[in-house]
């Protein structure tokens, strides 16, 4: 097969379909499965490898091609599979939320492939602590005194409540008693963390006085929860975090902000109505908890930040062992945080930020360019349409952004089912009786895969097959 020089992108010199069909192993598969199925599998494998930005060299890519082709032919597919997201939901929880930056994916893969200094201090040659790897960098970026990373934000909240208020009351505004994904509710999280819920105020209006009246000698924590997956509008009132912190200090009760969505700073997405981690930390809250796989654009993780003395208490809780973070998560999170040291690089390299700042005109230009790659027969069945993307992932409810993509002709339900059932599933949405593919969430490296998938679907449909 073809080779390329060192340092070059090996994908530029991948073998052709004909070259692969002449390969000894592939020729044997032709005898077993027939030329047409093998040719189809080779095309799909080539498209998949071309879209993967992490291939190291020509030799490994060649093996990837053969392995991918073999998997397609045998149907030996893993249950957790890559998909093309054409739904227009940027942080689609069912599709894995934030796609990682290339640097983060590479860092996780590198650590996964061998041994690492996960809990080994290289300077002194003794056992180390896994929780030091991202802590300093996260604190530098947000201004926090101390940081601690666990496996997700729900774990962060549970650990904090168990540490600070076990056997005591946790005061929460009744307007913030949210239900998170999977049917889990904040009252249940508080109860299972060993504390007792104490509601303050009403569903739509809560004042500082409501918290003050609820404080008793049994109070262990004042908890403010950012309603990241819903919004109450109209005759509403909530207590600013700074005012709650002031009340907590005067009463000698710690304050926690469950921020959830994880917007590091307003400068990264200035048009978004979301509180930022920097602002929450600056308020003086004892604990701020947020997610790594939402607006930060990193891996699933729960980041706990705040007063050093408080974070130290959380670190000594035996429950931390149950919530501890994995080595690959730490590697990906550190690489993501490093990108934020340069705002320009963060916007360029972190897919979530790039998707949310791309203009509708730029998205439409990508959709038109991809349409131009279709055959004339398939292109007739695809039209460019304006549409609206959403953020998703339990962040910024009601937020929409103008976008564009493809509207596919034909029966929407049938089109949806057939694209979803391909070897590389394509997930879109049905709206107004039409099947839509929103290009805002189609990663640039996957446009060729989308073209190939729709080409197969629509050309076969046009032939009546």
Q: Please write down the HEC assignment for all residues of the chain.
A: CCCCCCCCCHHHHCCCHHHHHHCHHHHHHHHHHCHHHHHHHHHHHHHHHHHCCCCCCHHHHHHHHHHHHHHHHHCCCCCCCCCEECCCECCCHHHCCCCCCHHHHHHHHHHHCCCCCCCEECCCCEECCHHHCCHHHHHHHHCCCEEEEECCHHHHHHHHHHHHHCCCEEEEEHHHCCECHHHCEHHHHHHHCCCEEEEECCCCECCHHHHHHHCCCCEEEEEEECCCCCCCCCCCECCCHHHHHHHHHHHCCCEEEEEECCECCCCCCCCCCCCEHHHHHHCCCCEEEEECCCCCCCCCCEEEEECHHHHHHHHCCHHHHCCCCCHHHHHHHHHHHHHCCCHHHHHHHCHHHHHHHCCHHHHHHHHHHHHCCCCHHHHCCEEEEEEEEECCCCCCCCCEEEEEEEEECCCHHHHHHHHHCCCCCEECEEECCEEEEEHHHCCHHHHHHHHHHHHHHHHHHHCCC
pLDDT tens, position by position, 203-226: 899 999 999 999 999 999 999 998
**Is the pLDDT reported for residue 420 higher than 60?**
yes
Name the average pLDDT for the chain. 88
At the topology level, CATH places domain 102-342 in 3.40.640
425 pLDDT exceeds 50?
yes
In this model, does residue 410 exceed pLDDT 80? Answer: yes
pLDDT for res 423: 73
Higher pLDDT, 458 or 398: 398
User: What is the pLDDT at residue 14?
Assistant: 77
Residue 454 has pLDDT above 90, yes or no: no
The yes-or-no verdict on residue 339 having pLDDT over 50 is yes
Confidence of residue 456 (pLDDT cuts 50, 70, 90): confident
The answer to whether residue 246 scores a pLDDT higher than 90 is yes
Supply the pLDDT for residue 7: 46
**What CATH number belongs to 78-99+350-465?**
3.90.1150.180
Give the pLDDT score at 344.
93
Average pLDDT of the residues in 165-193:
88
Answer yes or no: is pLDDT of 4 > 50: no
pLDDT of residue 268: 85
**78-99+350-465 and 102-342: same fold?**
no
Percent of the chain with pLDDT over 90: 63
Q: What is the pLDDT of residue 69?
A: 83
Q: Which is more confident, 5 or 130?
A: 130
Confidence of residue 140 (pLDDT cuts 50, 70, 90): very high
Q: Which residue has the higher pLDDT, 61 or 167?
A: 167
Residue 46 predicted with pLDDT over 50: yes
pLDDT tens-place string over residues 57-112: 555 667 778 888 887 777 766 778 889 999 999 999 999 999 999 999 999 999 99
pLDDT of residue 58: 53
Summarize the confidence of residues 322-338 as an average pLDDT: 97
- Looking at per-residue pLDDT, the higher value among 387 and 2 belongs to 387
Which pLDDT does position 461 carry in this prediction?
A: 53
Domain ranges for the chain: 1-77, 78-99+350-465, 102-342
Q: What is the pLDDT of residue 6?
A: 46
């Amino acid at each position: 097969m073809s080779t390329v020089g060192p340092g070059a992108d090996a994908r530029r010199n991948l073998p052709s379909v004909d070259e692969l069909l002449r390969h000894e192993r592939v020729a044997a598969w032709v005898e077993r499965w027939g030329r047409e199925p093998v040719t189809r599998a080779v095309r799909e494998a080539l498209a998949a490898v071309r879209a993967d930005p992490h291939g190291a060299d020509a030799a490994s890519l060649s093996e990837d091609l053969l392995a991918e082709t073999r998997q397609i032919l045998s149907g030996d597919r893993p249950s957790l599979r890559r998909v093309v997201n054409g739904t227009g939901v940027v942080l689609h929880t069912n599709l894995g939320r934030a796609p990682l930056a290339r640097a983060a994916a590479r860092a996780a893969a590198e650590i996964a492939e061998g041994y690492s200094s996960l809990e080994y201090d290289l300077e002194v040659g003794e056992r180390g602590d896994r929780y030091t790897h991202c802590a300093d960098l996260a604190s530098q970026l947000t201004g926090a005194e101390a940081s601690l990373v666990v496996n997700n934000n729900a774990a962060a909240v549970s650990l904090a409540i168990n540490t600070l208020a076990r056997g005591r009351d946790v005061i929460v505004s009744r307007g913030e008693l949210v239900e998170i994904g999977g049917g889990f509710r904040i009252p249940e999280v508080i109860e299972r963390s060993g504390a007792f819920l104490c509601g303050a105020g009403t569903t739509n209006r809560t004042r500082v006085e409501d918290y003050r009246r609820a404080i008793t000698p049994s109070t262990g924590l004042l908890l403010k929860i950012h309603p990241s997956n819903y919004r109450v509008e109209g005759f509403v009132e909530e207590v600013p975090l700074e005012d709650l912190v002031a009340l907590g200090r005067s009463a000698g009760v710690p304050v926690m902000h469950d921020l959830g969505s994880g917007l590091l700073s307003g400068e990264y997405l200035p048009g978004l109505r979301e509180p930022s981690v920097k602002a929450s930390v600056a308020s003086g809250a004892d604990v701020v908890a947020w997610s790594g796989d939402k607006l930060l654009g990193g891996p699933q993780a729960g980041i706990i930040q705040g007063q050093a003395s408080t974070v130290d208490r959380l670190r000594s809780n035996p429950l931390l062992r149950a919530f501890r973070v994995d080595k690959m998560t730490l590697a990906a999170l550190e690489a993501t945080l490093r990108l934020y040291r340069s705002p320009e690089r963060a916007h360029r390299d972190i897919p979530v930020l790039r998707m949310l700042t791309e203009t509708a005109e730029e998205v439409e230009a990508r959709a038109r360019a991809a349409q131009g790659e279709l055959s004339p027969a398939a292109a007739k069945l695809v039209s460019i349409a304006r549409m609206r993307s959403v953020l998703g992932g339990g962040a910024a409810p009601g937020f929409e952004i103008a976008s564009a993509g493809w509207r596919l002709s034909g029966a929407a339900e049938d089109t949806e089912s057939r694209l979803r059932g391909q070897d590389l599933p394509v997930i879109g949405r049905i709206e107004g009786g039409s099947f839509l593919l929103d290009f805002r969430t189609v990663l640039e490296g996957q446009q060729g895969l989308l073209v190939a998938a729709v080409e197969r679907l629509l050309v076969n449909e046009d032939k009546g097959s």
